Structure 1
């Protein structure tokens, strides 16, 4: 969301400012996210304290929601996301997602030259793969019209007012996740299904027919639920467990500390067929695939340390790491992986973008020992 915030205080030593956006807890605006006015700099290096003063009103956008004791991360480099493009009103850059094949990037680059509106920056998203020039033009026009409305609201807004809200969760999922690779989109509410169809008819009409309405009555009179039929609730419960079993009989132990996530790989019941090294290699490769899946499923962020079963053969260590990185390539959240250390540990980081599954579906408890317990009503809903 975009807010008309008020600067509370500026900390030159931290190169950051705290901004009140009317949400109870101040957001943090770092120096690198500030829009500096070249006329005010007079050739001097850009310093946050020269640009922002306590009590000043600023237009800021939330880039990361509050987590734990930390406030929201803010930026003055505003952007509006559409189905295929991201519009940057205060930028002139032109970019294309690096996840697209080079041939597709070349095709989109040619289209972009005639699509970008004057005075705006434009980034083409991964979802634009295979889209037509007409779809890109329509998406950009929608974004420009949306920005014009935001500008009008900024003019009329008072301090701490919200001037732009992202679409609700359902439409964000459709915009950011749903694409041509999906065959069906199942919804358990007719009114919501109509909203989704209306949105898709504007952005990708070919996907409208994929929307299906789920019937809670299976014909036998017994009440049913969408998440129950598709085993979603059961999968959430499994995703909150410490132990994760692998198909071969090995297992993972996944635990969170204050500073990091720790994942331990064990062979468990898997005894292999040929020799010990081959058994360990197969177990570690299977574990690498499952760990990449668990990272996405639990939305684990921050520092993550993985203890694979020790491998003596260097080629085996390289093979496991290569497979792990290949699986991480599917992850939309930014990751960085280090080589396997002499102790057999893989250290990595994954960008924190949400609280994660554990924090959402559990709450602190001191019933027996300090820990967390499931919030049952969330699963029931």
Structure 2
């Protein structure tokens, strides 16, 4: 009997401590599981391909997010997020926390400061005015301008402001961590977003050093993940790359119209395999229609023109739809067509649909997707 009484008292004490702790801090398990059937025409040197593809509308991820109230409006924050392939269980890029891994502090009125592996700040503030903030795929072929956030920044210090009367700012610096050369592999970025009624304007700029050949291997900068398609892979040995992006969106009730423009440059040095700088100008326009509370439709067009070391033109059109079965589960479908002409620096330009998982085609490519997504 005495043992039972002590056990009950211990349980009550533990419950009291748990309730007290929960009033001051929280830990949340969250995630997205996204899977689809994908048909690609003219891909990977073949006429067609049908397969299951994870993460088409949203990356399949799971994560742990924490917040501790430190008093006086100050909080500690932490976020660990892992991306995986739902069809085989593999980790994206072989990294446990491949998307996000940071810890930091948040202060009321001042914003949030975090340290670790993080998404770029244009993903936070510029993407919301782009077509891909609703459905996919409405961004530059090969994501050469980071319009879909392919790059993750290692060793990064990031500040995200609160919303000041419609204005939000962000800045980030990624350390190169190279002995004897502070600038080798470093990156820095700024972004802003301003909303005034139905109109939202955003802009951002990123500079990334791709590694000083005297001190490190080329391609080992803090900003990683941009050279993964033939659209810009001929310039993976660039000494540095710079990207500027600006966009505008207008919300008219159930309809939102908008677009963005970007300028990207890949600059060579003596360690590069190309000699002349390569430039990319990209423009995208879209219209999104919330037909009913459950059904949405989006149409978009993207035009990308490169010049300098090589010259190519890429055009892409996408029609996408989404139907919400509940607040957490939806069905989606999309159809995209891409066309390329000119040279990409390695040969004839190849059609690539945004940053989809379809392998490049020849001068044209079609991509059809039907999928399901669940958020928790």
Which interval holds the TM-score relative to the shorter structure? under 0.3
* Higher relative contact order (CA closer than 8 Å, sequence separation 6+): 2
TM-score for both structures, normalised by structure 1: 0.23
TM-score for both structures, normalised by structure 2: 0.24
Higher helix share: 1
Higher strand share: 2
